[in-house]
Amino acid sequence: MANVVSPFNGYVCVPYLHSHDSIELKDKWVSSRNIDSMFFVTATFSEDSKPYFKSVINHFILAKFKNPIKMQKDLSSYNKTEPIFVFNIDNVIFERDTPGKPNFISIYYLEYGESNDDLLDVAAYTARKDKIGISGFGNMELFADETPKFTFPYSDHLVIFEITSEKSHQSDNKYCEQTRRDICRKGIVMNNLVSFSLLEKLK
């Protein structure tokens, strides 16, 4: 079965705390026209990224949103004792119908910024990877009651892959890691920030 894509502007990742607020937000987004799809996920942060984010939560509600202004309004009144991550897609490399279902999302950062040559090389290579249904360049916004001690320096230099498959999350992670290594062989320093295993579709 092919995964059919539809327009959206990014991903929001809210810690799932089994609280009234979490359940209320989930129910609100199920009926929201601003939410294209929504999943219960587990997150795996890279070792290099952990010093920047104090959260030890690894269960999140991940939603694909259409309008970032409406999304920020939703988050303005939400409890942010644990950080909320918003990954905006500034430049879509491609969105395409692919076999399987959305199963894994991996987010990377370019350590030395975004030269035009680097972006073209990343775009050209990822376009040949048939398990990547959505790929794009973007940025990260962090919403938290407590300002992190260290600011993540590569928030504006993100590369985002959404994988569609019927295989295990471990298999998809290996696929993404091989893709990252292949890109790095071209002289582009691209490191993993966080990966999300999509466990259950909520919308």
Let me know: does 173 contact 106? Beta carbons within 8 Å.
Answer: yes
Helix (H, G, I), strand (E, B) or coil at 161: strand
Q: What's the CA gap between 27 and 189, in Å, rounded?
A: 40
pLDDT for the residue 4: 46
Report the percentage of the chain scoring pLDDT > 70.
Answer: 94
pLDDT for the residue 146: 86
Report the percentage of the chain scoring pLDDT > 90.
Answer: 74
Q: pLDDT class for 162, splitting at 50, 70, 90?
A: very high
**Helices and strands (H and E) in the chain: how many:** 4, 10
Please give the DSSP secondary-structure letter assigned to residue 4. Answer: P
Mind listing the pLDDT tens digit for each residue in 115-139?
A: 788 889 999 999 999 999 999 999 9
Mean pLDDT, range 176-182, rounded to an integer: 96
pLDDT for the residue 19: 87
Q: Is the pLDDT of residue 114 over 70?
A: no
Mean pLDDT, range 1-15, rounded to an integer: 74
Question: Please, what are the domains in the chain?
Answer: 2-201 (3.30.70)
DSSP 43-90: EEE-TTTGGG------EEEEEEES-HHHHHHHHHTS--SS-EEEEEEE
